[in-house]
Structure 1
Amino acid sequence: MSRLQQIVAGRWFVPAVSGTLIVLSWVAGGIEMALVGAILMVAAAVVAGWRIAVQAVRSLLTKHVGIDLLVSVAAIGAIIIGNFWEAAAVTFLFAIGHALEAATLNRTRSALAELVAVAPDVAVVLRGGQQVEVGAGDVEVGETVLVKHGAKVPVDGTVVAGTGGIDEASITGESMPVDKGEGDQVFAGTVSRSGFLQVRASGIGADTTLARIIHRVEEAQDAKAKTQSFIDRFARWYTPAVLLLALIAGLVSGDVVLALTLLVIGCPGALVISIPVAIVAGIGRAAKDGILIKGGEYLETAAKIDVVAVDKTGTLTQGRPRLTDVVVLDPALERADVLRWAANAEAGSEHPLARPILAAADAEGISVALPEHVHPIAGKGIEVMSAGHRVLVGNQALLEQFGVRDDGGAERAARHLADGGRTPMIIAVDDTVVGVIAVADTVRDDAATMVDQLHAAGVRRVVMLTGDVQAVASAIATATGIDEVRAALLPEDKLAAVQELQRAGHTVAMVGDGVNDAPALAAADIGVAMGAAGSAVAVETADIALMGDHLLKLPEAIGLAKRTVSVMRQNIAIALLTVVALLAGVFLGGVTMAIGMLVHEASVMVVIVNAMRLLRRQRAAGSARRPRSTGSAVERRPGVLTEG
């Protein structure tokens, strides 16, 4: 497209030409060239109004009576009765309104434009032992891509060698670079700030996280909220009503100018743009902050959330159990001896809690021997043969099964650890109880702050839904300020809990990992996926996807939704009050067609400026505080603790 064609196609070309013709008409009138002035004024009306008229005709052909029809009828009627200035003013100001609307929507879509801008163009891959530069879309899955300092990551993939710091702001909204090493995941569109990485490509082109985000934001900004759908229905009967009012007023008063003025004054331009501009701005702001909201309807629903249900493991807690306690009960042994026996037993176990025990032994320099025999016992623990000794690791029922006598010390220690939110495991060697060890999944540092900020954002109750036992769940609730705990739940129980809250009249958001929480997530009014950057399913299916693994994004999302809906309501009020005031002014006298359009455009500007406030980043509600305690819950062996 040539430069001239770009200018003609630009949104401001028509208003500029029409405005110029109006000025020339005034000049001609000033030098007593009335006919030339009239022709120029009509030309100004035609230039500004022909697109409006074409749109009105197209709408009529689809049996839709829109705002364009009001403006077209008013302008044509004004020309017929010789009010050329009014015709030009109406169409010129309406054309400016269209240009402002387009400019504003483009401005509020800036988040999408920024996401597209960070998409990488080239990649450096290893082929035949040589570094080859290719287009980012030409990388093949499984190839090794080199990411050097300052370069954009061109694909989704896993680091296979090297270390470096990656700026993931375009994906997660996190401002600080994230350290990456072997086994870590990286995303297309992020930027290397230090180091050198070799990445095995797993997602390219449209299969990258960035591409999915762009697609989701694009869809979401075009999706309508319930309020916007209501206004569309409102406009379908409002426009014919204004036409009928103008016709009756003209017939009763015999004043054609009055009828035409009513047509112009009745154009709710600000009402038409009030909702779309707020939705686009709100969703755009969220995308910049690493929060994907599926559409206007979900944005509006999120503003009504008064109960938040959260999973425990991996949401309120780190999801990575660690060894917290080693209680020595045999005076002949040291702490390291008890840990060594536990690690020797767990070296042959596939249970998730084996990993933190082995990691602790390794960190303390304790050598671990593989067991000669491993016998898992469902619901109780594990029996192994190690260095010629029978080692039991499990609960009190395991000791009873093998006839191991406990004087009560192990049971008391285990109960004390469990009450503190830890998972206890009794260790017995041959027929002697030697100690108790415990593991715990640590509470996230920002979990308590998240609960505070949810309350500050208007959420009345935060409910924990977990499969873990009551003692562990209660310890987490104490540490974080959770309002209500429902423990020992199966996936279907979590679903029932969400439905029960909904029947009680609450608007419920469910936050979970999307696997065992899938039924509850689907049933909730808003399903929230955390840490969704690496999950294509989460990005596509969640109503709200928090791209980073940051708890404070949840209250931020709810707060933004409430601000957006508040702006929508303010805009609707501004638009309707403007129309009512102008209509009253017409009947009472003093408001002309040109004045009415000028006030209309002023109201459009007010609505736009009001919506643009959403693009500013707000500080999260609530104040940060330190967690109440460090105890937390973990998964455990069947019969001891269950995964939450």
Structure 2
Amino acid sequence: MKFAIKHEIKGRMRIHVAQYRMSCAQADTLLYFLQNDIQVSSAKVYERTGDAVICYDGSRAELIDKLRHFHYEDVEVPNGLIENSGRELNASYQEKLIGRVVRRYASKIFLPYPIRACWTTVKSFRYIWKGIKTLAARKIEVPVLDATAIGVSILRGDTETAGSIMFLLGIGELLEEWTHKKSVGDLARTMSLNVGKVWLKKDGVEVLVGAKEVREGDEVVVHMGNVIPFDGVVTDGEAMVNQASLTGESEPVRRISENYVYAGTVVEEGELTILVKAVGGSSRYDKVVQMIEESQKLKSGLESRAEHLADRLVPYSLGGTALTYLLTRNVTKALSILMVDFSCALKLAMPISVLSAIREASFYNVTVKGGKYLEAMAEADTIVFDKTGTLTKAKPTVAKVVSFNGDSPDELLRIAACMEEHFPHSMAKAVVEAAREKGLDHEEMHSKVEYVVAHGISTTINGRKAVIGSYHFVFEDEGAALPEGTKELFESLPEEYSHLYLAIEGQLAAVICIEDPLREEAEAVINSLRRSGIKKIVMMTGDSERTASAIAKRVGVDEYYSEVLPEDKAGFVEREKAAGRKVIMVGDGINDSPALSAADVGIAISDGAEIAREIADIMVSSDDLYQIVTLKLLSDGLMKRIRKNYRVIVGFNTGLILLGVGGVLQPTTSALLHNTSTLVISLKSMQNLLS
């Protein structure tokens, strides 16, 4: 690629690509290439100017060399990324907005008044007809008020006022439509699939392959807690499938042989073998967009109340107009009320505020699935944290493997990895990663695997029963025993680690010691949440009392509970809600899913189990828990903005009405000031809350 460096400071450069015109697809391809380069910290690409701004770490010469060798056709872009990027949407709405403003002022300058008056009268029919249809439906809502204001202005021969009203209404509608579509698109993209690996069934054996290698007609196996990666038909197995991401309904549905299943839904219980019918990623995006559009998820309580209040105020505006005319017999004063209404600003500014906040959250790698969750976040007074992968690091590591049956630690780790590789839990990932780093090959060597949520895994290896999991599962539920002469070794296990127990044929074979260090920022995040208004902070974990106590003391939570089951977490959340508290639940595992679903706001960690991410209302990245604090500040800021908008809209428009009735302002001036204030408030509502 040929390019010129237009501006440069240390760690940042602006380049101009030497080509006649950059398409939206090319801009998205270049942006994807830059964002996936390890030394690029951030990048922006502007297709209109052909420029790219790149912030980078490391070698300048190396980055320039990569750019020189860049070719659009060499970059393998994920399915759906270009089609659903939103870049073309933004460009089209920018053109529409500029076009309307240019046409408005060009017509005022170049068209004679009679032609402008005729054109304004013709355009008014659309608004008047909309008002008539609203009345025919026996509703007195905002379209009636707009139609009356425009119609009366036309009848009085005041086409300039009518034209101004329609122009500002049109700009407002365009801004609302643009913001809504952009926010829905941003949200849908974050909710769309990003599946890397899948279990492909070949000759009766499961093989882990990249999702891009799967073709229509292949069979894939989806284990409990995993997302279904493709649309298809069930050929084997039985499972309860959570379809909340597509239908909005959290109740799982039973799926058996010959049932159709959809990409993006999650196997909550059981296991399915699926014959792939479609491998494209765009269908998932389209379904998510449709779900968001049709559901009420995007609407917060304050937003819904604003819409209802806007419609309820219309009869009062019309009544005030009629009463003023009856008392004063002054058409001008009566029109001053008609030209000013509260509903326009209320209906426009509130949804823009909410959708802009959702968009801003995405800048901080926070995905919010609806405005009502931001409102609930602002009102919350209790937060419950899972420990493993949440307060502790998202990537625990295997510190050591202690053998109890005489086999080598590497052989026991190989067996454990073979069992754990099917299941999405941070402890399981640690075992699999440790085996990979040691180069231990763990091809399928077991029969069907049974996963017991929050307990462990049970299977058969070479005809021998093997279980791996918690102390409670292995020793109490499965009745495993210590091999003779190993009691002292067992009691000397290092206490600073979490322990994963592997038993074969009823005898303890190994204890895998897993280092699960506390996040550096955990204590500071807890303190920041407390300062932001959270009154009760709780930690719940399936780990031992000893480990839970030590972690709870270090981070400074108000309460902690150890050795809990999934139903215990969900039960606690339900009890807190019954006591009148607004509860946030933060977790990352399959065992957190019931509590995430039960909470007023469920927050999942992005590296966690797929079912947790699908069920949760909000998702934060695994890099930094401070994102939860940022989310709380963003939610509080949104509620303050909405309440401020209420006060400004009511105060300003009341002032306009009083000045109009008092004869200080003409209806034209009132209409201009009212519509201008609506635009200004809407544009202010689009600004970042945390800038």
Shorter-chain TM-score tier: 0.5 to 0.7
Q: Who is 2:128 aligned against?
A: 53
Q: In the alignment, is the contact (CA less than 8 A) between 1:90 and 1:597 conserved in 2?
A: no
Q: In the alignment, is the contact (CA less than 8 A) between 1:290 and 1:548 conserved in 2?
A: no
1:343-422, aligned counterparts within 5 Å? Answer: 404=485, 413-414=492-493, 417-418=494-495, 420=496, 422=498
- Structure with the bigger RCO (C-alpha within 8 Å, sep 6+) is 1
The alignment status of 1:477 with 2:549, answered yes or no, reads no
Q: 1:49 to 1:13 in 2, by over 3 A?
A: farther
Q: Who is 1:232 aligned against?
A: 307
1:158-173, aligned counterparts within 5 Å? Answer: none
Q: 1:596 to 1:292 in 2, by over 3 A?
A: same
The alignment status of 1:298 with 2:373, answered yes or no, reads yes
Identity of aligned residues (%): 23
Query: CA–CA distance in 2 between the matches of 1:20 and 1:365?
Result: 72
The alignment status of 1:558 with 2:632, answered yes or no, reads yes
Gaps of 5+ in 2: 1-91, 194-211, 220-228, 232-262, 265-275, 421-426, 446-460, 504-509
Query: CA–CA distance in 2 between the matches of 1:345 and 1:235?
Result: 67
Q: 1:442 to 1:295 in 2, by over 3 A?
A: same
Q: Who is 2:594 aligned against?
A: 519
Q: Who is 1:99 aligned against?
A: 171
Q: 1:404 to 1:21 in 2, by over 3 A?
A: closer
Deviation at 1:560, TM superposition (A): 2.5
Secondary structure of the corresponding residue to residue 314 of structure 1: helix
Query: CA–CA distance in 1 between the matches of 2:435 and 2:102?
Result: 77
2:668 pairs with 594, 597, 608, which one? 594
2:582 pairs with 507, 522, 534, which one? 507
Q: 1:21 to 1:66 in 2, by over 3 A?
A: farther
Query: CA–CA distance in 2 between the matches of 1:359 and 1:222?
Result: 38
Query: CA–CA distance in 1 between the matches of 2:429 and 2:153?
Result: 82
Q: In the alignment, is the contact (CA less than 8 A) between 1:308 and 1:508 conserved in 2?
A: yes
Q: In the alignment, is the contact (CA less than 8 A) between 1:261 and 1:592 conserved in 2?
A: yes
**Aligned-pair Cα RMSD in Å:** 5.2
Q: In the alignment, is the contact (CA less than 8 A) between 2:468 and 2:500 conserved in 1?
A: no
Q: 1:295 to 1:65 in 2, by over 3 A?
A: same
Q: In the alignment, is the contact (CA less than 8 A) between 1:300 and 1:565 conserved in 2?
A: yes
Q: Who is 2:348 aligned against?
A: 273
1:215-294, aligned counterparts within 5 Å? Answer: 223-266=298-341, 268-294=343-369
Secondary structure of the corresponding residue to residue 542 of structure 2: coil
Query: CA–CA distance in 1 between the matches of 2:411 and 2:346?
Result: 72
Deviation at 1:16, TM superposition (A): 6.1
Q: In the alignment, is the contact (CA less than 8 A) between 1:90 and 1:593 conserved in 2?
A: no
Deviation at 1:217, TM superposition (A): 6.3
The alignment status of 1:71 with 2:146, answered yes or no, reads yes
The alignment status of 1:567 with 2:567, answered yes or no, reads no
Query: CA–CA distance in 2 between the matches of 1:374 and 1:345?
Result: 14
1:299-318, aligned counterparts within 5 Å? Answer: 299-318=374-393
Query: CA–CA distance in 1 between the matches of 2:142 and 2:408?
Result: 81
Query: CA–CA distance in 2 between the matches of 1:112 and 1:247?
Result: 41
Deviation at 1:403, TM superposition (A): 7.1
Partner amino acid, structure 2, of 1:250:
Y
Query: CA–CA distance in 2 between the matches of 1:500 and 1:108?
Result: 37
Q: In the alignment, is the contact (CA less than 8 A) between 1:462 and 1:482 conserved in 2?
A: yes
Deviation at 1:250, TM superposition (A): 0.7
Query: CA–CA distance in 2 between the matches of 1:235 and 1:306?
Result: 31
Gaps of 5+ in 1: 1-5, 29-36, 121-135, 144-154, 158-186, 189-200, 328-335, 383-392, 428-434, 620-644
Q: Who is 2:619 aligned against?
A: 545
Secondary structure of the corresponding residue to residue 223 of structure 1: coil
Q: In the alignment, is the contact (CA less than 8 A) between 1:511 and 1:527 conserved in 2?
A: yes
Query: CA–CA distance in 1 between the matches of 2:307 and 2:342?
Result: 14
Q: 1:358 to 1:533 in 2, by over 3 A?
A: closer
Query: CA–CA distance in 2 between the matches of 1:299 and 1:223?
Result: 10
Query: CA–CA distance in 1 between the matches of 2:512 and 2:468?
Result: 19
Q: Who is 2:677 aligned against?
A: 603
Deviation at 1:612, TM superposition (A): 1.7
Q: In the alignment, is the contact (CA less than 8 A) between 2:141 and 2:312 conserved in 1?
A: no
Secondary structure of the corresponding residue to residue 597 of structure 1: helix
Q: In the alignment, is the contact (CA less than 8 A) between 2:317 and 2:337 conserved in 1?
A: yes
Q: In the alignment, is the contact (CA less than 8 A) between 2:590 and 2:609 conserved in 1?
A: no
Q: 1:575 to 1:236 in 2, by over 3 A?
A: same
Q: 1:295 to 1:568 in 2, by over 3 A?
A: same
TM-score (norm 1): 0.62
Q: In the alignment, is the contact (CA less than 8 A) between 2:605 and 2:619 conserved in 1?
A: yes
Q: In the alignment, is the contact (CA less than 8 A) between 2:590 and 2:612 conserved in 1?
A: no
State which drifts further: 347-356 or 493-502: 347-356
1:575-586, aligned counterparts within 5 Å? Answer: 575-586=649-660
Query: CA–CA distance in 2 between the matches of 1:318 and 1:496?
Result: 26
Partner amino acid, structure 2, of 1:595:
T
Q: In the alignment, is the contact (CA less than 8 A) between 1:410 and 1:426 conserved in 2?
A: no
Query: CA–CA distance in 2 between the matches of 1:223 and 1:557?
Result: 16
TM-score (norm 2): 0.58
Q: In the alignment, is the contact (CA less than 8 A) between 1:339 and 1:361 conserved in 2?
A: no
Q: 1:292 to 1:237 in 2, by over 3 A?
A: same
Deviation at 1:582, TM superposition (A): 1.0
For each residue in 1:106-139, what CA deviation from the matched residue of structure 2 results, as whole angstroms up to 9, or x when unmatched?
156446667999999xxxxxxxxxxxxxxx9996
Q: In the alignment, is the contact (CA less than 8 A) between 2:186 and 2:359 conserved in 1?
A: no
Query: CA–CA distance in 2 between the matches of 1:596 and 1:483?
Result: 56
1:528 pairs with 596, 600, 603, which one? 603
Deviation at 1:581, TM superposition (A): 0.9
Secondary structure of the corresponding residue to residue 310 of structure 1: strand
Partner amino acid, structure 1, of 2:170:
H
Deviation at 1:102, TM superposition (A): 1.2
Q: Who is 1:442 aligned against?
A: 517
Partner amino acid, structure 2, of 1:606:
V
Q: In the alignment, is the contact (CA less than 8 A) between 1:424 and 1:437 conserved in 2?
A: yes
Deviation at 1:589, TM superposition (A): 2.9
For each residue in 1:377-419, what CA deviation from the matched residue of structure 2 results, as whole angstroms up to 9, or x when unmatched?
999989xxxxxxxxxx999xx999777597xx768745xx43x
Aligned residues: 498
Deviation at 1:277, TM superposition (A): 0.9
Deviation at 1:20, TM superposition (A): 5.5
Query: CA–CA distance in 2 between the matches of 1:456 and 1:202?
Result: 51
Partner amino acid, structure 1, of 2:673:
V
Q: In the alignment, is the contact (CA less than 8 A) between 2:605 and 2:622 conserved in 1?
A: yes
Deviation at 1:284, TM superposition (A): 2.3
Q: 1:207 to 1:510 in 2, by over 3 A?
A: farther
Q: In the alignment, is the contact (CA less than 8 A) between 1:317 and 1:444 conserved in 2?
A: yes
Q: Greater CA radius of gyration, 1 or 2?
A: 1
Secondary structure of the corresponding residue to residue 482 of structure 1: coil
Partner amino acid, structure 2, of 1:102:
L
Q: In the alignment, is the contact (CA less than 8 A) between 1:137 and 1:205 conserved in 2?
A: no
1:89 pairs with 161, 171, 187, which one? 161
Query: CA–CA distance in 1 between the matches of 2:185 and 2:475?
Result: 56
Secondary structure of the corresponding residue to residue 464 of structure 1: strand
Deviation at 1:463, TM superposition (A): 1.4
